[in-house]
A and B are shown apart, each in its own frame.
Chain A
Amino acid sequence: MRILVLALAIVLVAAGHVAAQPSCGDPPRVDDQSLKGTLDGKAKFLSGIIGGANLKGELETARTDVFSKYPQADRTRSEAYLEYMLCSFVLSDPKLSAQDKLKAIQEFRQQGHSEDDHGSPGKLAVSIALNRNASVQKPAASASSTPAASAPPTALPAEQQFTYALTQDAGVTRISYRLPYLDLVRKGGPVSGLTYDRAPFAGELPDLLVTVLNTTKHAVVLTRALLDVHSSKLVNEPVPVFDEQSQNCLRISNQGWADIVDPTLQISITRDTGNIALFASEAHTLSPPTIADATCIPLRDYVPAALRRDREVKVSGTLGYGEAGDRHTLAFATHVKLDLRAGQGVPPDELYNLFFKAGQTGQVAADLQPAQEVKPDEAAAFLLRVKTDRTSQTAMTIGFTAIDGATINGGDFVLDLFVPRIEIRNWQNAGIKRQ
């Protein structure tokens, strides 16, 4: 309803200021042809009495007629269609001047909607805000096994997490993202190399909290949400990211939606000796090709001879990029491993939850379901998520049992786990037995 009011208001403003042929917008869809015909008739009738004293009463009568005859009709859509047809009749009436048309529609709007705004039958009030609470409670994950894809994202530093905020500016409600790393990039750095698994940044798209207050006398069932997109502008901005501890080459990825054009790298490679440099740096200038997605620049030719057998080196400098006249410079510092090790990164393919009660000793077992079959010459990786019910420091040995009864020791650990006192603890632990 509110959308249509806005659309009509835009029509009116356009008619008043531009004096061009205004439009009533697109007709709302009404599939019931019989209902559609009735609404057409009522609209035509009402358009003929606009300006008359009895418009309000006739309008109410028309509504009552329609909805008593078609009790299953979509009320909102039917009213929208009625208004659309009325608008169309008025605008196409050659006997009315533009000024009269404007006045007639305004009058109809006032008559037609006064009861929604002030009338006794009540109203539907919708408010939309940014949801600042945790994400919507989802059903508890399967206790014994959850696909790795639904595991929580790896915790990233705050600098790598994007968040959303809602602001009001000159009557416009704006919901916008904030990414501290991007702020640094826009300032020219310095940025540090980022550590991440697959994506260097994490965050969730904004959840909009929709609150609907229904003070009408009838139930309303919302079946669709509509986004009326007025404009959408692509943000084409490169976002260079330097990997921390990339292997054997300086890896630069582009997390933005424009290429890193004409990059020039000024780098110096040193031993990392903390905040104070103990070794002088040797500067090098490189001009890699434009970076669309990612590039990895081998450093063998630039590593000082004395450092070539170091495990890792510090690489710092600046990255210049952008078209002539719109060049950007980003200062960075990261580390590159000079060793290449294969075999890392076998991805976990299952997640198993284990729960133990804090303060109690004993053995806790969880069935690995599905079981982990590791064939000869194969590697397997899976996640164990160990949970407890209170903040505690627990020493434990983690082990596994094979199908033939053999036990495999995974080592001794001390787990310091933090559990907030006020916490939802209703997750299930099916398949976990205390022995």
Chain B
Amino acid sequence: MIPCTRASFLGAPLFFAASVALAQVTGEVPGDVTASKTDGGITVTSKAPGDEFSLTLPGSDIRPLSPERLKLGIDGRSIEIVTLHLGSDLIGKPDATVLALYQHSVEQYSRRDGWQLVPASDATMALPDGKSALLWRMQKQPPDPAQPGGLTLAAALNRGNVVALVGSTADAADQPALDAYLRAALLTLRPEQPVPPPAQGDVLNAGANLRQGLELLRLMFGEEARALVNRQLMTEADNDLPLATPVKPDVLMLGLRRALEDAGDKAMVTTVVFDGRSAHVLNVRAYDAKADAFTYWDPWGKGSFLGAGSNAAGVAATPHPTERRLWIVKADQLKRVVYAVELEGTAIEHVAAEIPLGAFGALGDTIQDAQQTDLFTWFHLQQIAVSKNAAGHPVVTFRPTAPQFRLLASLDVTTDATGRILAADLRLLRNFIDDKANTVFARDLANSFLRSATPARDMAWLEPLANQLRYAVQGRVFIGNSQAKALPEHPTDDYLTFLGKQPETKTQLSLTMLTLTNTTIDEKPGLVISLGTVR
């Protein structure tokens, strides 16, 4: 063991920062890790399903270096533990082959940052269980004065994963000792027993998160449900959920009222409440504007989660005077605990039509907002007409100013009486889409429209179509592998509709309905790409 000198320790932070880029291409942070102290160091144990292992790291001065990577400063050296899940095509191949591929992969991805393999630094070794391990060095080219010692990687296989130690030292003279350290540490690698899955009862009692709740609605009603979620309380997982739109509590309450109005007597809006300790699901049935209170049904056998004394938020709902299992809660009290409102697809469109929720993404809420965006400025969209639709709502028509495209494309924006956008329809003539020279522009306009007129979360549904519009151009040669990878294995229905091979497709987005329709435009074959709420 190398003693930790003050000089080496002080030099460590700069050095460790420089090695971050390489470390991140070597693998991921092991999941579910814990550590326990041993006589001469620590044992790190990972209980990640399918990658359970333990590894002992000797050392006297051990401290974490990163909040996000499993990177430790051990007696003046930096040691990171990473794992990398193997692709299915590598399972069953000899250890030496897999490790050589891993080494190659690390070298490839780190080369752009100046890292190179140190010639003749490879060393293979056998682990106690007979499996082989590989150890090699990497250095910066040209040499980096801040990192004279380079890196040593020691990798072995555990179940379907590579487990690697990435070591670095600020002192070049310490490199042989670092190699020996990593070699010794890797020899302690042991597969751990898999953790049994939770018992069925535990799963049943664990409750459902928002994603699971929406999936349940989909299974029950056969239609994808959407949610408005309280942005002040939402979890990161719910923020990531394309099906859920984060809104302020005021908007959430308004959305709930609109959804109830929309559904009328048969209203049953699934609403998640959270009192700071527990979350619960209610079915809200009605809103009484005079009393400013909601009536809801509680699935509890007796009482209600929102009844006085049953929640930690101090909400005191009261039993309905005549209807069993129904409760009444004042709006201001419900607002304190409302977490999410789950709505069927059409209901969310109605809500989005009446409340500004950002349904049209970058286009904003009004035509004035939209005219400031790249879609309008890049394509020089100019207002040419204003009409009214069947509901009496204004429809403003724009066309590109460029003469060669002016008659090939148009954009209709429908607003309500206050000027708030309710729908946007891009019209493209078929001869524009199919023209060998101009198809690139038609696709670009369609793609720009889809990206500009939808919130970012809608990319969860739009990405395949957007990629096909961009990359699946006949005769186009892919420059990078990533472009080919971005394409789905088979053309999607909406793309086939774009190509004119299907009459129509509909896709429910987070707040709007996307419809692609092959129709006639000005008595010519054309395609309408619509994004709409209730127009």
Residues of A within 8 A of B (CB): 243, 246-249, 251, 253, 270-282, 293-296, 298, 300, 303-309, 338-347, 349, 372, 374, 377-381, 411
Does B67 contact A280, Cβ atoms closer than 8 Å?
Answer: yes
From B207, B276, B280, A296 is in contact (CB under 8 Å) with B276
* Nearest CB of A to B240, in Å: 8
- CB-CB under 8 A from B42, the residues of chain A are 276
From A271, A293, A300, B236 is in contact (CB under 8 Å) with A300
Does A279 contact B70, Cβ atoms closer than 8 Å?
Answer: yes
Known: A275-B36, A282-B67, A342-B213. A247 touches B274 (CB 8 A): yes
Is there a chain A Cβ closer than 8 Å to B37's Cβ? yes
Does B64 contact A340, Cβ atoms closer than 8 Å?
Answer: no
Cα–Cα, bound, A271→B34 (Å): 9
Q: Which of B295-303, B489-497, B504-512 sits within the interface?
A: B295-303
Could you give 23 example pairs across A and B, Cβ below 8 Å? A248-B274, A270-B67, A274-B35, A275-B35, A276-B37, A277-B64, A280-B65, A294-B276, A298-B232, A298-B233, A340-B279, A342-B213, A342-B273, A343-B207, A343-B208, A345-B207, A345-B278, A347-B300, A347-B302, A347-B310, A349-B302, A374-B301, A379-B299
Query: Within B53-112, which residues are at the interface with A (CB < 8 Å)?
Result: 62-70, 72
Known: A304-B67, A345-B278, A378-B301. A411 touches B236 (CB 8 A): no
Is there a chain A Cβ closer than 8 Å to B200's Cβ? yes
Known: A275-B35, A279-B66. A243 touches B280 (CB 8 A): no
From A281, A300, A349, B234 is in contact (CB under 8 Å) with A300
Does B299 contact A341, Cβ atoms closer than 8 Å?
Answer: no
Is there a chain A Cβ closer than 8 Å to B459's Cβ? no
Does A339 contact B209, Cβ atoms closer than 8 Å?
Answer: yes
Does A278 contact B72, Cβ atoms closer than 8 Å?
Answer: yes
- CB-CB under 8 A from B224, the residues of chain A are none
Query: Within B233-248, which residues are at the interface with A (CB < 8 Å)?
Result: 233-239
* Most chain B Cβ neighbours within 10 Å, of A300, A308, A339, A347: A339
Known: A251-B276, A307-B68. A273 touches B235 (CB 8 A): no
Does A338 contact B235, Cβ atoms closer than 8 Å?
Answer: yes
Cα–Cα, bound, A331→B297 (Å): 42
Does A340 contact B66, Cβ atoms closer than 8 Å?
Answer: no
Is there a chain A Cβ closer than 8 Å to B421's Cβ? no
- CB-CB under 8 A from A372, the residues of chain B are 301
* Nearest CB of A to B296, in Å: 13
From A253, A294, A304, A342, B208 is in contact (CB under 8 Å) with A342
Is there a chain A Cβ closer than 8 Å to B266's Cβ? no
Cα–Cα, bound, A141→B10 (Å): 70
Interface string of B295-318 (1 = CB under 8 A from A): 000011111010000101010000
Known: A274-B34, A293-B314, A300-B236. A341 touches B64 (CB 8 A): no
Does A305 contact B299, Cβ atoms closer than 8 Å?
Answer: no
Which chain B residue lies CB-closest to A247? B279
Is there a chain A Cβ closer than 8 Å to B272's Cβ? yes
* Most chain A Cβ neighbours within 10 Å, of B33, B64, B277: B277
- CB-CB under 8 A from A273, the residues of chain B are 33-35
Query: Within B275-289, which residues are at the interface with A (CB < 8 Å)?
Result: 276-281
4 nearest A-B pairs in the assembled complex, by CB-CB distance: A306-B68, A341-B207, A296-B276, A343-B207
Is there a chain A Cβ closer than 8 Å to B142's Cβ? no
* Nearest CB of A to B65, in Å: 6
Is there a chain A Cβ closer than 8 Å to B446's Cβ? no
**A-B pair number, CB within 8 angstroms:** 151
- CB-CB under 8 A from A374, the residues of chain B are 301
* Nearest CB of B to A396, in Å: 15
From B34, B72, B209, A340 is in contact (CB under 8 Å) with B209
- CB-CB under 8 A from B205, the residues of chain A are 344
From A253, A300, A343, B235 is in contact (CB under 8 Å) with A300
* Nearest CB of A to B477, in Å: 37
Known: A308-B236, A339-B235, A340-B209. A249 touches B67 (CB 8 A): no
Cα–Cα, bound, A62→B208 (Å): 82
Cα–Cα, bound, A343→B235 (Å): 16
- CB-CB under 8 A from B201, the residues of chain A are 411
Does A249 contact B237, Cβ atoms closer than 8 Å?
Answer: no
Which chain A residue lies CB-closest to B204? A343
- CB-CB under 8 A from A379, the residues of chain B are 299-301
- CB-CB under 8 A from B72, the residues of chain A are 278
Which chain A residue lies CB-closest to B72? A278
> How many chain B residues have a CB neighbour from A under 8 Å?
54
Does B301 contact A339, Cβ atoms closer than 8 Å?
Answer: no
Does A344 contact B207, Cβ atoms closer than 8 Å?
Answer: yes
- CB-CB under 8 A from B70, the residues of chain A are 278-279
- CB-CB under 8 A from A307, the residues of chain B are 67-68
Which chain A residue lies CB-closest to B29? A306
Does A338 contact B236, Cβ atoms closer than 8 Å?
Answer: yes
Does B236 contact A346, Cβ atoms closer than 8 Å?
Answer: no
Cα–Cα, bound, A279→B235 (Å): 22
Known: A294-B312, A300-B234. A340 touches B210 (CB 8 A): yes
- CB-CB under 8 A from B234, the residues of chain A are 248, 300, 340
Cα–Cα, bound, A358→B345 (Å): 57
From A280, A342, A377, B207 is in contact (CB under 8 Å) with A342
Cα–Cα, bound, A381→B303 (Å): 12
Does B235 contact A248, Cβ atoms closer than 8 Å?
Answer: yes
Q: A296-B276, A379-B299 are in contact. List 5 more A-B contacts (CB 8 A).
A: A247-B278, A278-B70, A280-B66, A340-B234, A346-B301
- CB-CB under 8 A from B280, the residues of chain A are 342-345
Cα–Cα, bound, A380→B44 (Å): 43
Cα–Cα, bound, A340→B195 (Å): 23
From A249, A275, A304, B68 is in contact (CB under 8 Å) with A304
Does A378 contact B299, Cβ atoms closer than 8 Å?
Answer: yes
- CB-CB under 8 A from A253, the residues of chain B are 312
Cα–Cα, bound, A273→B237 (Å): 22
Does A345 contact B68, Cβ atoms closer than 8 Å?
Answer: no
- CB-CB under 8 A from A339, the residues of chain B are 209, 235, 237
Cα–Cα, bound, A179→B234 (Å): 36
Does B200 contact A303, Cβ atoms closer than 8 Å?
Answer: no
- CB-CB under 8 A from A378, the residues of chain B are 299, 301
Is there a chain A Cβ closer than 8 Å to B339's Cβ? yes
Cα–Cα, bound, A294→B312 (Å): 8
Known: A247-B277, A306-B67. A344 touches B206 (CB 8 A): yes
* Nearest CB of B to A146, in Å: 15
Does A309 contact B237, Cβ atoms closer than 8 Å?
Answer: yes
Cα–Cα, bound, A342→B233 (Å): 14
* Nearest CB of A to B352, in Å: 24
* Nearest CB of B to A69, in Å: 57
- CB-CB under 8 A from A309, the residues of chain B are 236-237
- CB-CB under 8 A from B238, the residues of chain A are 340
* Nearest CB of A to B325, in Å: 8
* Nearest CB of A to B83, in Å: 14
- CB-CB under 8 A from B67, the residues of chain A are 270, 279-282, 304, 306-307
Which chain B residue lies CB-closest to A272? B34
Cα–Cα, bound, A147→B193 (Å): 44
Cα–Cα, bound, A375→B235 (Å): 32
Cα–Cα, bound, A296→B232 (Å): 11
- CB-CB under 8 A from A272, the residues of chain B are 34
Does A380 contact B301, Cβ atoms closer than 8 Å?
Answer: yes
* Nearest CB of A to B286, in Å: 18
Cα–Cα, bound, A377→B299 (Å): 7
* Nearest CB of A to B362, in Å: 24
- CB-CB under 8 A from B314, the residues of chain A are 293
